[in-house]
Amino acid sequence: MPLSAMLKQETMNVLGIDACGKQGWIGIRLAAGVFDSSLVEAILKALIARVGECDVVVVDMPLGLLDRGWRAADIQARAYLGARRSSVFLTAPKAVWDEADYAAASTACLTITGKKISQQAWALASKRREAYMCWINDPDRIHEVHPEVSFQAMAGGTPLSHSKRSWRGQAVRRALLTAAGIPLSDELGEADSVPTDDVLDAAAAAWSAHRIAVGTAQRMPATAERDAAGRLVAIWY
């Protein structure tokens, strides 16, 4: 790590966030690059507010939306992940997310892109909208990540062979976090009742948040793609 990044690391506080079903959202906070605390809130805005001063906040949720076509970030992330590519949903254009239900959204997506939006992607609609509103109100601090991209980056670019929901997959991901300087205790506080894969995803997100804070992160795509308002549309890792 460059000296400038090492000096920054000593003072940086960051938050990695993942959606966790009916519980809402889980956040893993790092202080100076190491685990500080876990937070769980039903509302994303409330979770972000609880951390107070925080240099970088990242969310595992599509944020930037295009008016037409599929995002380069998703296409590149799928190519990068190989066997784990199915964990990345293609993010439909902005107008699709304005529809009231899956049937209407699917029709709109077919009209704009030539393909329907998947039911799995549409299932994220309410949480994606929640994250999107937080982002457009704080675009300089909030960034999009994808934990599987982060984990593969921790592994030196080698695709992970087991699902994050499997025993082996979770053991591998926890070991990668430990090797990256983020060992997770058996007792995390608020996160103790959250599914393991969501905890690991939030921790991987926090790893990427720290890299953004100290200036060592990368993004997909490397060539800037922007939404209609000029905001960067990218997955950071």
- Per-residue pLDDT 10s for the chain (237 aa) are 565 555 556 679 999 999 998 999 999 999 999 999 999 999 999 999 999 889 999 999 999 999 999 999 999 999 999 989 999 999 999 999 999 999 999 999 999 999 999 999 999 999 999 999 999 999 999 999 999 999 999 999 999 989 999 999 999 999 999 999 999 999 999 999 999 999 999 999 999 999 999 999 999 999 999 999 999 999 999
Give the three-state DSSP class for 72: helix
Domain boundaries, the chain: 3-87+124-236, 90-123
* Token reading at 141: 């601090």
Tell me how far CA of residue 64 lies from CA of 45, 140, 157, 209, 227, in angstroms: 18, 13, 25, 17, 6
pLDDT of residue 8: 58
DSSP annotation string for 82-118: GGGGGGSPPPPPHHHHTSSSHHHHHHHHHHHHSSPPP
pLDDT of residue 6: 57
pLDDT of residue 52: 87
Separate counts of helices (H) and strands (E) for the chain: 10, 7
Q: Are 32 and 71 in contact (CB under 8 A)?
A: no
Query: Between 3.30.420, 3.40.50, 1.20.1050, 3.30.300, what CATH number should domain 3-87+124-236 receive?
Result: 3.30.420
β pairing state of 142-144 and 56-59: parallel
Burial environment of residue 148 by CB neighbours within 10 A (0 to 12, 13 to 18, 19 or more): buried
Q: What is the phi/psi pair of residue 38, to 5°?
A: -120, 150
